[in-house]
Structure formats: structure tokens, C-alpha cells
Amino acid sequence: MEMLVASAIGVLTAGGLYLILRLRTFPVIMGMSLLTYAVNVFLFTSGRLTTGAPPILRDDVAVYADPLPQALVLTAIVISFGMTAVVVMISLGAFLGSDDDHVDDPTQQDQDRTGDAS
């Protein structure tokens, strides 16, 4: 199971990073989402992988699932969800405003083409 989870995190991270380097807003946002999925799974595993173990430490329980990473993941999911919504809105605004979905600064050539000197 460790191998499966670890490679899943690795593939998600690699895919996310590749998409982020595409420098157009849609792939970059998709990449950000993949990266946040990767980090959520990573946080989840930081409390060690267990199956069928109770999440609360009691006197008669020897193996238990650490409940704290689950709480952390929940917080991280909520925050990344909100952030994705924000970045989608801002990117949409930028795209509709300048008719261009590049993330990086426009080159001189682009500026000449669109006549947008700012």
C-alpha cells in the first residue's frame, strides 16, 4: 500500500508541476489542483498508513489512526478549494479584460500586436 500511495503522490506532483510550467492560466490552474490533491494525500499519510484502526487512543487499543492529519487535511482541502475559486475568478477577469491567457508578462512583441502599452 505504501508503494501505491507514494507513487500516486509522486505522479500527481509531477503532473501538477508540468502543468504549472505551461504558463497559460487553464493548465496552470489544473496543475495547481493536482498539486493540492498531492499535498492532501501527502498530509494524510504523514500520520502513517493504517487500515481499520480506531482514530482515538484508548486504553485497550494498541494500533490507532492518528486523527490530527485528518483534521489538517480537512483544513487544507477547504482552503485550497476556496483559493482555486479565487484564482479562477481573477484569471477569468484577466482573460476577459486583455483577451490573453498567458500567466507571464507580455513580451514587447505581444504589446505591439495588441497595442496595449501598459
Partner 1 sequence: MTHWIVAPVILPALLAPFIVLAARYHIGIQRTFSVVGVLALIAVATGLAIQASDGTITIYQMGDWAAPFGIVLVADRLSTLMVLLTAVLALFVLLYAIGSGWDNRGRHFHALFQFQLMGLMGAFLTGDLFNLFVFFEVLLIASYGLMIHAGGNARLRAGVQYVLFNLIGSTLFLFALGAIYAETGTLNMADLAQRAALIGADATAGLRVGAVLLLLVFAIKAAVVPLHFWLPSSYAEAPWPVAALFAIMTKVGAYGIIRVYTMIFPPELEATSGLHDIWLQPAALVSLAVGMFGVLAAKRLDRLVAFSVIGSMGIVMVTISLFTPEGMAAALYYIVHSTLAGAALFLIADLVRTSRKNLDLTPQAPIAGAALTAALFFLAAIAMVGLPPLSGFIGKLLVLTAALESERVVWIWAIVLGSSLISILGFARAGSVVFWKATSVAPIDEAENADDLRSPAVLSYVAVGGLIAVLTAHTVFAGQVHGYTTAIAAQLFAPEPYLSTVLDTPGKLSVPKEDY
For partner 1, the binding residues (CB under 8 A) are 20, 25, 28, 32, 35-36, 39, 42-43, 45-48, 66, 68-69, 72, 75-76, 79-80, 82-83, 86-87, 90-91, 93-94, 97-98, 100, 103-106, 116, 118
d(CA 20, CA 27): 7
Cell (9 digits) for 44: 494524510
C-alpha–C-alpha distance, residues 99 and 26, integer Å: 14
Output the furthest CA–CA distance in the chain (Å, rounded): 73
C-alpha to C-alpha distance for 32 and 48, rounded to whole angstroms? 25
Least separation, in Å, of the C-beta of 52 and partner 1?
Answer: 21
Output the smallest distance, CB 70 to partner 1, in A: 12
Cell triple for 90: 481573477
Q: Report DSSP state, residue 24.
A: B
CB 113 to partner 1: min, Å: 15
Whichever of 61 and 89 has its CB closer to partner 1, that residue is 89
Find the shortest distance in angstroms from Cβ 68 to partner 1: 7
